[in-house]
Amino acid sequence: MTDDYLWFEGLPFLVIGYRYEVIKEVCAQFVIKDEDIVTVSYPKSGSHWLIEILCLIHSKGDTKWIRSVPIWERAPWLESEDGYKLLKEREGPRLLASHLPFHLFPKSFFTSKAKVIYIMRNPKDVLVSGYYYWTITNFSKKPESLEQYFKWFLQGYGICGDWKNHLTVAQAEAFDKVYQEKMAGFPKELFPWE
């Protein structure tokens, strides 16, 4: 299974469309600008839906841009070889997407004023969506069954590692604290998990 991936910092990435040198350069040298909008998610969490919504907001509801320019050009994937090339040449404000976990994110992000939207999805839904996606693509080895894919999912054999470690414990706690503060004025019945 490990031969089917490109490994960077102990995390698996697809072989097609990704290069070790590009990911390394993204993490160390890519400059995220203050006016950028960054969508970050674990794969199969709804990034494309959000990108389509953001593109509609950006174009003030005009669908010409969305119908004429592919999604990977409107919001290039930062860590992919093609996405990185597009983003390096593009002037701001830029819309970019990434599946990188935060500990691999470009260092410039943490000192910028860029807006980030982190998308989280129930891991059961991520698992099922990922399984069906990987059974119809030719990007990597296909799972023989949902059970096999579940084992891979738990072992972290997906793009950019495993779901549970996409955020570190400290980042998850910081996110939860900010979330609690921002949602303090809303009725408690909106949040049944509390």
pLDDT of 132-184, one tens digit each? 988 998 877 788 999 998 888 888 776 777 777 777 677 677 767 777 787 78
Q: Are 34 and 113 in contact (CB under 8 A)?
A: yes
- CA 150 to chain CA mean position, Å: 20
User: In 15-153, which ranges are E strands?
Assistant: 37-41, 95-98, 115-119
Burial class, 98, CB count within 10 angstroms (exposed 0-12 / middle 13-18 / buried 19+): buried
Domain with residue 107: its CATH number is 3.40.50.300
Reported confidence tier of residue 87, pLDDT bands at 50, 70, 90 = very high
Task: Point out the residues that are catalytic.
Answer: 99
Residue ranges making up the domain that contains 152: 2-190
Q: How many domains does the chain have?
A: 1
Number of Cβ within a 10 Å radius of residue 46: 17
SS3 content of the chain, % helix, strand, coil (to 5): 50, 10, 40
Lowest-pLDDT choice from 37-46, 59-68, 139-148: 139-148
Reported confidence tier of residue 77, pLDDT bands at 50, 70, 90 = very high
- Say how many Å lie between the first and final Cα of the chain, rounded: 39
Using CA of residue 119, residue 124, residue 129, residue 134, what is the dihedral sign?
positive
Whole-number CA gyration radius for the chain: 17
